[in-house]
Structure 1
Amino acid sequence: MRCTPSRQSRRSFLIGSALAAGALAAGCGRGSTSDTGTFTAAFQGSGAGEGIDPGVNTLFIDEARMKAVYDGLFEVDGSMTPIPRLAESAEPDADGTRWRIALRDAAWHDGKKFTARDVLYTFSRVLGPAQQRPFIAATSLDQVDLSASRAVDDRTVEIVLKRPSFEFLIALSVYGTKIVQDGAADFTRPVGTGPFVFDSFEAGRQFTAHRNEHYWDGAPNIRQLRIVSAEADARVNAVRSGEIDYADNLTPSAARTLTAGSGVTLVSTPGSGIYFFAMKTDRPPFDNPDVRRAVMRMVDRAELVKVALEGQAEVSNDVFGKGYQYYADLPQHEYDPDEVGRLLRRAGVRDLTFDLFTAPVAYGFVEAARLFADQAAVCGVKVNVVLGSKDSYYTDALRTGHLTMGQSGPLPIPNHFASRLLTGSPQNRTKWSDPRFDALYTTAQATPDPQRRAALYRDMHEILHDRGGFVFFGTTHWNSAARDTFQQLPAAVPNSHDWARFDAVAPR
C-alpha cells in the first residue's frame, strides 16, 4: 500500500526537515515506528544552534537528547527537589563545606566502570578554561575547591567547597552537570551512562540511539529512540497521522485540535513554561533603574496572557518560580501608563524608543512582542519589534539587543539566581550585576536553617521585583501528545527528571 500525505502535511514536514527526511521514509500511518521497536519523539528545533555537549547546550531538545545518553549525580523532581541518580547519597559536614557522595554501581556505554574519577573530571571540565560557548554550570559549581576534592575510592567522592553551601545538591542537579567520562573531549559521538546508547546526531534534523541493555536503572522497553527537530505545525500533523509517536510543547490551539482526535492522548501540565522580556541592564536605556521600573508597568500581562498565549496561562509578576520552594509572593505589578510617565520623568527620559528583539521560536513570541509594542505606545513609548532568525535566536539574544524575549522551564529558585543573575553568570540575559544581590546569595547558601534561607531569598526577590531586568508575564501549561500505541509516557514539568524521559515507554 502506498501512503500519500496531504498537501498540508507535506508543507509542515518541509518545515521540520528531519521528519521529511526520516519519519516519512520510515513508513506510513499509525504504527509505522512502533512496528520496528522505534519510538520517535519530536521537539521544537533550533537548527545549527542545537548540540549534544551536556556542558554547554541548553535548549529543550538538547536536554531531551542528553537525558537519553547521560545521567547526573542528582536531578530534580516535579517540586524542584533534588533526587539521587548516579549518586546513592550525599552528606555534608557540620559547616557545609565538605560533602561525601556515595556513587552507584554503574557502567559507561563502552563498558568501563563509572567511578569517582569521572565526577572529578566533569567538575574540572566545567570549571576549567572557558571555550567558545560558556559552561552552563560554571557559576553553580564555582564553589567547588577541586584541589582539595578527592576520590576516596572508586565509589566515593569527597567534594570540598570554598565556602559553605547547604544547598549543594541543587548545584549538582542543574543543567550542565551531567557526568561525562574521565578524559572526554570529543562530543560528536558521546559516551554516557544513560538509558540509550548514541548512534547518530545531525543538528536541526535528528538524533538516534539504541537501548542500553545494561542500564543501572533497568533497560528501556523500546529498542531505538529517535528525537527529531520539527516546527509546531509539523509536530501536530505528524502525531495525528501516526508518523511520530510523541510531540512535545504544543500550542494551546494545536492541543485543542487533538483533544477529540482518535488514537492520541493529550497531556497538559500547568506551571511549566515561563515567558519573559529581558532588559539588558548594562546599557542604555535599561541601565537606569527607573526605566526598568517603567517597563514593568508598561506591560499589560493579563492581555498578553489572553491574546498572545490564548488564555492558556497564568499572569506572572516578575518573580520567578511560582509554586516552588522560596517563591516570594509580592504585590502584583499592574499596567499603569500614568506611573510609566512619572517614572520616565524621574529618570529624565523623554521620547523613549527602543528595539524589542524576538523570533518565532515559541508560540506567542511574535504576537506578544507586537501586543506589547501597542501597550507601550499608549504610554508614549515607541517599541520597534525586530525579528531575528529562529535558528540562532537564543544565542543571538544572549549577546545582542537591548530588550529580548525568552521562555524558561521550571528551575529551583537558587539555581535561577546562580545561573542567570549572579555577576558573571553564563546565562545572564539581563547582564544583571548587583554586589548586594551577590552577597545575599552567598549568605543564603551558607545558612543551614531553611526558614532563614527563605528570608534571604525573599530579599533577593524584592530587589529584582523592584528594579531587576526580567519581566515575567505569563506561566503556561506544557502540552504534549502521544499515540495510544505506547504507554508509560512522560508527563512532567520541563527541567524535572521525568520530563522527556523515554526509558519507561512501552508498546501497548
Structure 2
Amino acid sequence: MRGMPPEWNRRTFLLGSAVAAGALAVGCGGSGSAADMFTAAFQGSGAGEGIDPGVNTLFIDEARMKAVYDGLFEVDSAMTPIPRLAESGEPSTDGTRWRIALRDTQWHDGKKFTAHDVLYTLSRVLGPAPQRPFIAASSLDGVDLSGCRAVDDRTVEIALKEPSFEFLIALSVYGTKIVQDGATDFRRPVGTGPFVFESFDPGRQFIATRNERYWAGAPGIGELRIVSAEADARVNAVQSGEIDYADNLTPSAARTLEGRSGTTLVSTPGSGIYFFAMKTDRPPFDNPDVRRAMMRMADRSELLKVALEGQGEIANDVFGKGYQYYADLPQHDYDPDEVGRLLRRAGVRDLSFDLFTAPVAYGFVEAARLFADHAATCGVRVNVVLGSKDTYYTDALETGHLTMGQSGPLPIPNHFASRLLSHSPQNRTKWSDPEFDRLYARARGTRSPEGRTALYRTMHEIQHDRGGFIFFGTTNWNSACGDRFVELPAAVPNSHEWARFDQVRAR
C-alpha cells in the first residue's frame, strides 16, 4: 500500500532484480486466438513475483491482481476513493463505525460474494503476520475486529478503535483486495475480477481468461497475458508487435517510440515524485533554518532538465499536486543569497554532509551530483556516497543525514500517516512533531471535507516551511501500445485505471 500503499520502495519504482535483458518470457499455454489474446509486459523480479494480494507488492504483481481480484474501494487519479465491490460506505455520526453495502456478484467458482468474505479478508490482514508481513496491516490497524459484523449477506459493519471519516482511503490501499472466505492457497487464486486465473510462472508469464459474468461487464479480450521483461526488451517487443503493451518506459525509451508508426506512446503526468530526505533528528538537519536553507539550495529547473531528462514538472516540497487535499503554496526557488542568510541565522559555518544515494531509478545519481554542484555554489560541501541498489531503500531508512527517494501517487492522508507521524513505518525524515500528530488525528475525526481540507493545509504549511522533504520534481509515467487494440489504460500508477485491461478491445 501500513499507513500507506505497500512499502513505497517496492510499489513505487524500485522493481527488484530483473529477468535477463532482451528476452521476453512468452511461453505456450492458454486458449485465446491471436486476435483475441492481449499481451502486456512489465518489469519483472523473477521468483520474487507473486499473486497473493495480501503480501505481494511489485507493479507486475499488482497488474496480475487487478485482473483477478477487486477491492471494496479503489482510488481514482486524484487519489479519491471510488466504490468497486462496495456499492457505498456510510459512517456513523461519530465516525467510529462504517456500514458498507456490497455488490450482488459472485466468485469465479460460482460462490456468492458476501459480507463474510470481507470479514475474512480483514481478519487475515490483521491476524498473526506470515513470514512476509501483510501490506495493509498498518493501514487497517484502526479496525476493531471484535466489533465488526455481517449485518446480512450484502451489508458489513466495520468498527474502528478511533473516529475516522477517512476510512474509505484505508479500504482503498494496496493489500486490501478481497479474498474468498477461507482462502489460504494462492497458487490457483479465485477472485471476483474481470479475468479468471489460468496459470502463473513467476518471472515469466501469467495467463487469465475472460470472466463472462463480471459484474462490470465482460472484458473485450478473451485472454490476457502478463509477461516479465527488462526495459530494453519491452521497447523492442512493442515495436516488433511481439507484445501489445509495454509499461514503465524511461524518457529516452519514450523518445525512441514517439511518432513511430504502429505504436502509440502514452505519457501520464504527475505519476512520480523525486525527493531528497533530510533526517530531522540529527545535526545539521535538526535545525529548522538549515532545512529551510536546503529547500532554497536545489535548482529544480536544472534537476528536471538534466537528471529527469526534461520530462515532468518542478515540485515544491509539498506532496500530491493534483490530488485531493493538495495545498498550493508559494514556490520555493533556487536562491544562494537566501541560503547564506538562513545558514548565518542558524549559526552554521562551513556546512558539509554526505548525500547517500544509489542507482535504483533513472536520474538518482545524476540528481545527487547536480545537487552537490548547486550546494557548492552556495558555499556548502556535499559528498555523494553511493550505496547498493539491492539494499538501498532499507539502508536509507537509517543511514546517513541526507538521502534520496522516489514515490508514486498515493492519497495525501496516507502520505502523512505512513511517512510523517511520529510512529510512521516509513518515516524517512525522522519527523516527530506533536502538533503535526494532533492535527492529523483532528483531521481524521473531522466529518466535513472542508474541515479536513483546512487541517491538511496547515500540515502542508508546516512541511513547506520546515519539513524534512525536498520534493524537487514530478515525472511522467510512460507506456506504449501497439495499434491492434484500443481503449488501453492511461493513468497514474496506484490508481484504479492503471494496468486495467478489461476495457481493451480489438480494432
Q: Conserved in 2, the CA contact under 8 Å of 1:40 and 1:226?
A: yes
Which residue of structure 1 lines up, in the alignment, with residue 151 of structure 2?
Answer: 152
Distance, in Å, in 1 between the alignment partners of 2:288 and 2:443 is: 25
Is 1:120 the counterpart of 2:123 in the alignment? no
Write out aligned runs for 1:101-112 (5 A): 101-112=100-111
Change (3 A) 1:247 1:174: same
Q: Conserved in 1, the CA contact under 8 Å of 2:251 and 2:478?
A: yes
Q: Which deviates more from structure 2 when the two are superposed, residues 414-423 or residues 470-479?
A: 414-423
Q: Conserved in 2, the CA contact under 8 Å of 1:353 and 1:381?
A: yes
Q: Conserved in 2, the CA contact under 8 Å of 1:376 and 1:383?
A: no
Q: CA deviation at 1:342?
A: 4.8
Question: Percent identity of the aligned residues?
Answer: 77
After superposition, what is the alpha-carbon deviation per residue over 1:258-306, rounded to whole angstroms, capped at 9, x for unaligned? 2221111122222222222233444555445444333323221111111
Q: Conserved in 1, the CA contact under 8 Å of 2:21 and 2:231?
A: no
Write out aligned runs for 1:228-377 (5 A): 228-282=227-281, 285-344=284-343, 346=346, 348=348, 350-361=350-361, 363-377=362-376
Change (3 A) 1:53 1:26: closer
Give the aligned residue type for 1:22: A
Q: CA deviation at 1:498?
A: 1.0
Q: CA deviation at 1:401?
A: 5.3
TM-score (norm 2): 0.87
Change (3 A) 1:211 1:286: farther
Change (3 A) 1:411 1:137: same
Unpaired stretches in structure 1, ≥5 consecutive residues: 1-13, 28-32
TM-score (norm 1): 0.87
Which residue of structure 2 lines up, in the alignment, with residue 381 of structure 1?
Answer: 381
Q: CA deviation at 1:68?
A: 1.4
Distance, in Å, in 2 between the alignment partners of 1:411 and 1:18 is: 30
Is 1:55 the counterpart of 2:32 in the alignment? no
Change (3 A) 1:26 1:53: closer
Distance, in Å, in 1 between the alignment partners of 2:264 and 2:118 is: 39
Is 1:17 the counterpart of 2:27 in the alignment? no
Change (3 A) 1:113 1:428: farther
Change (3 A) 1:284 1:89: same
Q: CA deviation at 1:232?
A: 2.6
Q: Conserved in 2, the CA contact under 8 Å of 1:34 and 1:485?
A: no
Change (3 A) 1:395 1:114: farther
Is 1:207 the counterpart of 2:184 in the alignment? no
Which residue of structure 2 lines up, in the alignment, with residue 8 of structure 1?
Answer: none
Which residue of structure 1 lines up, in the alignment, with residue 8 of structure 2?
Answer: none
Which residue of structure 1 lines up, in the alignment, with residue 9 of structure 2?
Answer: none
Secondary structure of the equivalent of 2:157?
A: strand
Give the aligned residue type for 1:52: I
Give the aligned residue type for 2:265: L
Give the aligned residue type for 1:67: K
Give the aligned residue type for 2:359: A
After superposition, what is the alpha-carbon deviation per residue over 1:355-375, rounded to whole angstroms, capped at 9, x for unaligned? 3222243x3233222222322
Distance, in Å, in 1 between the alignment partners of 2:260 and 2:495 is: 28
Which residue of structure 1 lines up, in the alignment, with residue 428 of structure 2?
Answer: 429
Which residue of structure 2 lines up, in the alignment, with residue 444 of structure 1?
Answer: 443
Give the aligned residue type for 2:161: K
Distance, in Å, in 2 between the alignment partners of 1:426 and 1:419 is: 6
Name segments (4+ residues, structure 1) moved above 6 Å: none
Distance, in Å, in 2 between the alignment partners of 1:336 and 1:26 is: 59
Give the aligned residue type for 2:409: P
Is 1:41 the counterpart of 2:40 in the alignment? yes
Distance, in Å, in 2 between the alignment partners of 1:156 and 1:198 is: 27
Distance, in Å, in 1 between the alignment partners of 2:466 and 2:414 is: 20
Q: Conserved in 2, the CA contact under 8 Å of 1:34 and 1:507?
A: no
Distance, in Å, in 2 between the alignment partners of 1:489 and 1:433 is: 43
After superposition, what is the alpha-carbon deviation per residue over 1:179-235, rounded to whole angstroms, capped at 9, x for unaligned? 122233444443322222334445544433333333222232223322233333222
Which residue of structure 2 lines up, in the alignment, with residue 165 of structure 1?
Answer: 164
Distance, in Å, in 2 between the alignment partners of 1:398 and 1:40 is: 37
Change (3 A) 1:26 1:202: closer
Which residue of structure 1 lines up, in the alignment, with residue 195 of structure 2?
Answer: 196
- The alignment of Structure 1 onto Structure 2 pairs a total of residues equal to 487
Q: Conserved in 2, the CA contact under 8 Å of 1:139 and 1:424?
A: no
After superposition, what is the alpha-carbon deviation per residue over 1:238-262, rounded to whole angstroms, capped at 9, x for unaligned? 1111121111222233222222211
Distance, in Å, in 2 between the alignment partners of 1:323 and 1:70 is: 28
Which residue of structure 1 lines up, in the alignment, with residue 77 of structure 2?
Answer: 78
After superposition, what is the alpha-carbon deviation per residue over 1:303-333, rounded to whole angstroms, capped at 9, x for unaligned? 1111112222111011011122211112222
Q: Conserved in 2, the CA contact under 8 Å of 1:370 and 1:385?
A: no
After superposition, what is the alpha-carbon deviation per residue over 1:441-499, rounded to whole angstroms, capped at 9, x for unaligned? 11111112222211100111122222323221111222211000111111122222111
Distance, in Å, in 2 between the alignment partners of 1:49 and 1:428 is: 25
Give the aligned residue type for 1:333: H
Change (3 A) 1:21 1:81: closer
Distance, in Å, in 2 between the alignment partners of 1:365 and 1:203 is: 29
Give the aligned residue type for 1:89: S
Unpaired stretches in structure 2, ≥5 consecutive residues: 1-16
